[in-house]
Structure 1
Amino acid sequence: MATAAPVPASADSGVDSGFGNVGVDIDGWVSDPATGDIGPLVPGTANTDPNEYKYELQCHLGGGDFDTPCLARQIECNNGPDGEEGIPVTWLSRPRGVPGAVWAHHSGPTCLYDARPEDLLPRIAADIQRQFESLPVNAGTVVAQPSPHTLRGAETNFYVEAVEQQFDVTMFGQQVHIVATPVQYTWNYGDGTIFGPQPSMGGPLPQDRWGEKTRTSHAYGTTGDFQVVLTTTFQGTYSVNAGPPLPIPGQGQFSAPPQTVSVWRSLTRNYADDCNVNPQGQGCPGVGATR
C-alpha cells in the first residue's frame, strides 16, 4: 500500500504539496448540496456556501508529524479521472465569516486529485464537443399526416416534436451541466429526397386540411413503404461547477428512429348500383382494395 511522505502543512489549505493555494488561483472550496463532496470554486463565480473548507492529509498530525499507524492503512489514491495519483485527505469546515470559529471535521478521508480547477477548464473546453456528441440526446418524434397510410401524389405533412434537453456529466473530476437546444432539422423522406438542414420543425394541420402543401410536407411519386428519417441538429452550452454557461463551439447531430410511411394510390370509378344492391361490388366493405 502506498504511503504519503511527510509534507509541511500550509496555513491556508491544510497542506502545501503541490495541491495548496501557493501560486494557484483558488477562490475557495464549496460543498455540493446533492452529494456533500467538496470541490474547488471556479474562479469568477459567487460563493454562496455558508461554510468555508480546507483539507489536511489523512494522517497529518500537524507541523511535520504524521501518525505512523495511520500511514499503514490510509486510503489509496492512484486511480484518478486520468489515471493520475492523488493525495488522501480529510476535509475540515467552519462557518464563514464567524470570528473565532473553530475548524471541525467535515468529511473524509477521500482522495484529492486536482486542486487547480483553472488548469482543467481548457481541458474541458477542448473535450466538450466530443462529450456533447456522445450524449443520449433525443432527436424528437416524427409525426406524419395522414399516417401510417398516405396517397401517391398528395402532400403528406411531416413535423417533429423536439425539446431542449439537459444533462449532468463528470469531466476530469468536475461537474459539467450541458444544455442541448434543437436548432435545425433534416428530413430524409426515404425515396431519395432530402430536405434540409433548415430551421422549421413543421407543425400539425387539422384533418380537414390534410393534403395541403407545408414547409416540411412531401409528395411521393410512387407507391410503396418508405423509411422516413429525421436528423436534428442541436446547439449546446455547458457550465462547470455551476459556473456561467459557455457555448459549445460545434453542433451535434442526432437521428430519430425511422418511421414507415405506406404510400397507396387512389382510383376513381363510377358504379350503377350501391353496396346494398351489389355487396360484392368494387369498393364495398370486404372487397379487396387496390394499392
Structure 2
Amino acid sequence: MKSHNRALMIGFCVVPFVVFPLVAEATAKDPIAVGYEEKGIDVGATNWVRDEDSGEIVPAPPGYVSNDPNQYNAFPQCQVDDGNLAIDCLAKQRVCPPRADGKPGVPVIWKVAPREIANPTWTDWQGNGGGPTCLYDKNPEDLLPRIAALIQRAFDRLPVVPGTLTAQPSPHTLRGAETNFYAKAAEQPFDITILAQKIHIIAKPVQYRWDYGDGTSLGPTTTMGGPLPQDRWGEKTRTSHAYAATGDFDVVLTTYFQGTYSVNGGPNLPIPNQGQFSSPPQTVSVWRSVTRNYADDCNTNPQGEGCPGGAQGNR
C-alpha cells in the first residue's frame, strides 16, 4: 500500500495495458493532455520527428512528412517491458521542474526504431546520451523563443538569389570615363522547417554594395542604380565609377536582404540582422583612348593609318 501511494503522488496508477494520466486531466481551455500507455507517451501527437537544427525530438506539425529513416517514441523513465512501472525506480527518477505556466514535466526515455516497422522493438536513442529527459505538454508558444534563436542562421543559409550586375558600356569601357553600374534584385519567399514547425520566410533586397575591383567601393547604399540610354553613356550617375588605370577588373555586387518570418501561418516577425549575398564577379576591361589628326580620310588614302587597308587596320 505504501508503494501504491508513492505512485499516486506523481500521477501514475500501476495497471498494465491501459492509458494512465501523468499530469492533471485536460480542461476545455487546455485540450492537450499527456498520457501514459503501453506504446509510450501520448502528447496529442503520435508522430515525433528529430529536428535537424537542434537535434531534439519534437512533435511533428499536421501534414509533416519526415525523410528520417527512423521513428521515435518516449517512454516513462520507470516503465518496464510489460507496461508496468518499476516502483523502486520512482524514488530515483529525474525531477522535471514545472514550466513557466505551471505545467509539470514528465521524465522520459526516448527510444528509436526503423520507420517502416509498424510495431517495432524499441531501443534507447543515444542522441541525448540515452538518459532521461523532461517532456512537457505540446505548446507551440514555447517554441517561439527557440525558433527566434535559430532563425538568423537559417536565413543566412537560404539559397537567396543575389542581385544581378550590369555595366554600361560592357565588357569594355574607357579609362577616365564614367562607367554606369546598376543592379536588379527581387523579393523571394522560402518555406522551411525549424523544430518541426512550418516557417515561411520572405527575403527583401534593401541595400547594395559595389566593389569595383580597383580597391574602391560604394555602399552599402539603398541606391540600386538604373540603366542609361546609349547616347548618355559616360555620364556620371549615383552608382557609376571612373577607372584611373587600364586593365581587367572584377566587379562584385553584394545585395543585403532583410527578412521576415512567420510560424505556422502566424504574424510576420522581423529577422534581426540582414543577410548578405554576393553576385559572381563580372570582368570589366578598361582601355585607353588615343586621338590622332589626319589630313585626309580613308576614301582619299585607303592605305592610311586606321583604314581597313592600312597597317593599323589589318591588325
TM over 0.5: yes
Partner of 1:283: 306
Partner of 1:19: 43
Cα RMSD after superposing both structures: 3.8
Partner of 2:89: none
Aligned-pair CA distance for 1:137 = 1.2
Q: Is 1:178 aligned to 2:197, yes or no?
A: no
Partner of 1:63: none
Partner of 1:200: 223
Measure the CA separation in 1 of the matches of 2:122 and 2:140: 22
2:250/2:281 contact within 8 Å kept: yes
Aligned in 2, Cα 1:78/1:171: closer, same or farther, shift over 3 Å?
A: farther
Structure whose alpha-carbon radius of gyration is higher = 2
Deviation track 1:33-79 (CA, whole Å, cap 9, x = no partner) reads xxx349xxxxxxxxxxxxxxxxxx9xxxxxxxx99xxx981496987
Aligned-residue sequence identity (percent) comes to 64
Q: Is 1:154 aligned to 2:200, yes or no?
A: no
More strand by share: 1
Measure the CA separation in 1 of the matches of 2:150 and 2:123: 24
Aligned in 2, Cα 1:79/1:208: closer, same or farther, shift over 3 Å?
A: farther
Aligned in 2, Cα 1:159/1:208: closer, same or farther, shift over 3 Å?
A: same
Deviation track 1:90-131 (CA, whole Å, cap 9, x = no partner) reads xxxxxxxxxxxxxxxxxxxxxxx9833222111110111111
Aligned in 2, Cα 1:79/1:248: closer, same or farther, shift over 3 Å?
A: farther
**130-139 vs 207-216, greater mean Cα deviation:** 130-139
Supply the AA of the counterpart residue of 1:265. R
- Structure 1 residues 4-83: aligned runs within 5 Å: 7-8=19-20, 12-13=31-32, 16=35, 17=41, 19-20=43-44, 36-37=63-64, 73-74=119-120
Deviation track 1:143-165 (CA, whole Å, cap 9, x = no partner) reads 00111111111000000011111
Select 1:124's aligned residue among 147, 154, 158: 147
Aligned-pair CA distance for 1:277 = 3.7
Give the TM-score normalised by structure 1.
0.65
Measure the CA separation in 2 of the matches of 1:84 and 1:271: 87
Give the TM-score normalised by structure 2.
0.60
Measure the CA separation in 1 of the matches of 2:226 and 2:121: 58
Supply the AA of the counterpart residue of 1:140. G
Select 2:189's aligned residue among 166, 176, 186: 166
